[in-house]
Amino acid sequence: MAWLLLGFVRLLTGAQARWHGCPPKAEQRIYFANHQSHIDLVLMWAAMPRELRHSTRAIAAKDYWTKSKFKQWITTAVFNVVYVERGRTGEEDPLAPLIDALESGDSVIIFPEGTRGFEAEPAAFKAGLYNLAEKFPHVRLIPAWINNVQRVMPKGEVIPVPILCSVTFGEPIALKAGEERKAFLSRARDAVIALRDV
């Protein structure tokens, strides 16, 4: 099923990967990207070479991706996603599933805006990326820009439209010693935006 889906996504979007400043390498990474469509995670997964797909897990909003048995099946059986709760309940750390995945040696794909955006530039990044960078200083932080995917499945549509899309992966960044959260998140967001015209 994974191969069929991979073929369909590549036929629909091209799923073209561009690696600028970092090669596709089987090392533990946190990929962070702009978020404009529910199929962002699918496109990033399809754009990666096989050896990276095997060990890379995308973040997915639990409330959306478990609404139907099909969505839940495809995100667990095919993509092996990390479900996160968008609404904090009690004292539970919303990053706990991501921390578990990173501690087990997986790479992860996250969307630091926290929800889909529809502007030309991503919204301000939330604190999760900073917290993960602080907790896992040995994991490489790779910015990525997803281009054109919002046109494949615009908001409210259920039938995708064939449009060429690409994912540009950029040079790794790192949390600097003593760097404040706001400054780091702004720098991380700028690193993503800088890939838009590469």
**Beta carbons within 10 angstroms of residue 126's beta carbon:** 16
Q: Is residue 28 part of a domain?
A: yes
**Beta carbons within 10 angstroms of residue 94's beta carbon:** 16
Q: Is residue 182 part of a domain?
A: yes
Nearest to 142 by CA among 43, 20, 54: 20
> Which structural domain range is residue 51 located in?
2-193
Quote the pTM value: 0.84
Q: Is residue 36 part of a domain?
A: yes
The CATH number of the domain where 37 resides is what? 3.40.1130.10
pLDDT digits (tens, 9 = 90+) for 7-27: 665 655 556 788 998 999 989
pLDDT digits (tens, 9 = 90+) for 125-162: 999 999 999 999 999 999 999 886 555 455 555 555 54
Q: Which residues have a Cβ under 8 Å from the Cβ of 10 and sit 6 or more positions away?
A: 46
How many Å apart are CA 42 and CA 27, to the nearest integer?
A: 20
Per-residue pLDDT band for 48 (boundaries 50, 70, 90) equals confident
Q: Is residue 198 part of a domain?
A: no
**Number of domains forming the structure of the chain:** 1
Q: Is residue 135 part of a domain?
A: yes
Q: Parallel, antiparallel, or unpaired for β 107-110 and 166-169?
A: unpaired
Count of CA atoms in the C-beta half-sphere (13 A) of 114 = 14
Q: Is residue 66 part of a domain?
A: yes
Q: Is residue 14 part of a domain?
A: yes
Q: Parallel, antiparallel, or unpaired for β 56-61 and 107-110?
A: parallel
Nearest to 87 by CA among 57, 64, 58, 112: 64
Question: What pLDDT was estimated at residue 38?
Answer: 67
Q: Is residue 20 part of a domain?
A: yes
Class of residue 107 by CB neighbours under 10 A (exposed 0-12, middle 13-18, buried 19+) = buried
